[in-house]
A and B are shown apart, each in its own frame.
Chain A
Amino acid sequence: MGKKKDIAIVGYGETPVVLRGGRSSYELAADVLDQILAATGLEKSEIDGIAVSETMSETSNPFWAVFLAEHLGLQTQWTQVNGLGGASTIAGIARAAAAIRDGQCRTVLVIASDAQSSYPPAEQGGQRWEFQYPVGLRGPTGVFGMLMHRYEHQHGLDYGALAKLAVTQRNHALLNPNASAKLKTPLTEQDYLSSKFVSTPLRVLDSVMVCDGANGVLVTSAENAARLGLKKAVYPVGYGEVSNYKVDDLTADITESGFTLAGPKALAQAGMSARDVRMFHPYDDFLIAILLQLEQIGFCERGKGSRFILDTDFSYRGDLPLNTGGGQISAGQPGLAGGGLNLVEAVRQMFGEAGERQVEDPRNAMVTGIGVIPFGKNWSVSNVLILEQ
């Protein structure tokens, strides 16, 4: 990436997040394409590339990406699947940008769609059949319970800070028409602090609820956007990605993730420091993941996340608006399409289309992804995307 602003996101689409809605990943994706075509006024023939996220509900199908493009009526010159879990969508934007710059295609639909709560998920197998399932550690909740205990041991953890994040995101979800109806009830800090344990010290309200949904964006060159007369655009100006951080250090600190590399890399490309970030739209499978990202990307010192959270106003009117659509925790996690949820919210804000939760001067945004639960570590994939108007 970099400050050239030669690649643009020119449209977005998103279905409501629904618990057990029963619609397939294909049908949900069709809603997203329909919305993008309506918003941009483009014919589908302009789209000549597709980057698709792997899903829980369709990944057992090895032809998912091509079948989806066929279902949507897209003939493409560049077709790509990202199996990076919740990191897949912003990874898709980075790969689409590279493919467009390389001349392989001109306009790419970066899309994620997953009916995980309606259809049985794909088996993740591997070493888990021998070394995890018989022990009974639940992934991801068990793994994040371990992570929280270790963080608390090393740095101290103020659960009031996590409660504040829970309430902030819930307040945002209440203003988001696409948030899951099941989660549209006000929440207090006490509700969080007294919610049931899933895997100590992790509680129900630390966690996402798995739903169905789809989201996507349209990526093209700035030059092509001008040719097509597109009026709205935001520009990816920084990107960092790390998979299997410290894979061969088997006693590495599990509270430290690839964000320590991906965050500074994305910021350097964008010519920014964390202080310059106007809005933060972090991947939020669990509240503790937000705290760790704030520290490791460099918004605050390591171990000082609780204090930073208590001292910062993360509301859409605040100092550092955070997951203004409610995030996955309060809007619902549309399966592995969850990685696109906070991205679409960032683009919506930057297009000035966020309605009553609109952030003032949404000049830039940082969006992150987290993907895949490995053995005995934090998470497998960390990535960071910075967008500018």
Chain B
Amino acid sequence: MTEKKLPPRPLPRPDIYAKTRPFWDAANEGRLLLQRCKDTGKCQWFPRSGSVYTGKRNIEWVESSGRGTVYSWTLSVAPWPGHESRAPYLCAYVELEEGVRILANLFNVEPEGVRIGMPVKLMWERLSDEFNYPAFEPA
């Protein structure tokens, strides 16, 4: 009998689809960066190569306050490959003060305690020496 080997939790692959290295560098310092369109002043998430608002490559990185509310959530019972050992776990769309939604895990709350609209604040989950990953907990 051989035991089926579970895949490891997927780690981010920076700078593949877009230049995201500044985000991961800041994450290691505990700062959550978003992109801001310099023409409209509006923020965007996820990171892109240019502005989703204008199509122009006139964007910059800005730091988020890390404050937001739960827009929607789900308890992932069936895990994505690599997350088997921690299932079930909470995933949420968090609406940040800066006017974007970010997908993240919720910690320090039971599924019964999660409410749409509840205030949450940024925290970090250390995935590896290289990667600090943004997550949220009740504010």
Please list the residues of chain A having a beta carbon within 8 angstroms of any beta carbon in chain B: 125-127, 129-138, 141-142, 145-147, 149-150, 153, 196-202, 247-248, 250-251, 254, 375-376
Is B73 located at the chain interface by the 8 A CB criterion? yes
Q: Main secondary structure on chain A at its contact with chain B?
A: loop
Question: Are A135 and B103 in touch, CB under 8 angstroms?
Answer: yes
Inter-chain contacts of A150 with B (CB < 8 A) = 71-72, 116
Q: Other than the known A136-B89, A150-B71, A250-B43, what 12 A-B pairs have Cβ atoms closer than 8 Å?
A: A125-B16, A127-B17, A130-B46, A136-B83, A142-B80, A149-B72, A248-B53, A250-B44, A251-B99, A251-B101, A254-B93, A375-B103
CB distance from A26 to the nearest CB of B (A): 28
**Chain B residue contacts of A146, Cβ below 8 A:** 72-74, 91-93
Tell whether B20 is near chain A: CB-to-CB under 8 Å. yes
Q: Which A residues are CB-close (under 8 A) to B93?
A: 146, 254, 376
List B residues 81-139 near A (Cβ within 8 Å).
82-83, 86, 89, 91-93, 95, 99-105, 111, 116, 127, 131, 133
List the interface of chain B (C-beta within 8 A of A). Answer: 9-14, 16-18, 20, 43-47, 52-53, 71-80, 82-83, 86, 89, 91-93, 95, 99-105, 111, 116, 127, 131, 133
Could you tell me if B95 and A199 are in contact, using CB atoms closer than 8 angstroms? no
- Some 21 contacts from A to B, beta carbons below 8 A apart, are A129-B16, A130-B20, A131-B46, A131-B47, A131-B102, A133-B82, A135-B104, A136-B82, A136-B89, A137-B80, A138-B79, A142-B76, A145-B75, A146-B73, A146-B74, A146-B91, A149-B116, A150-B71, A199-B74, A199-B78, A250-B99
Evaluate contact between A247 and B80: CB separation under 8 angstroms: no
Q: CA of A250 to CA of B36 in the docked complex: distance in angstroms?
A: 13
Query: Is A250 in contact with B52, judged by CB distance below 8 angstroms?
Result: yes
Residues of B within 8 A of A130 (CB): 12-14, 16-17, 20, 46
Q: Is the CB of B72 within 8 A of A134?
A: no
* In the complex, chain B residues whose CB is within 8 Å of the CB of A129: 10, 12-13, 16-17
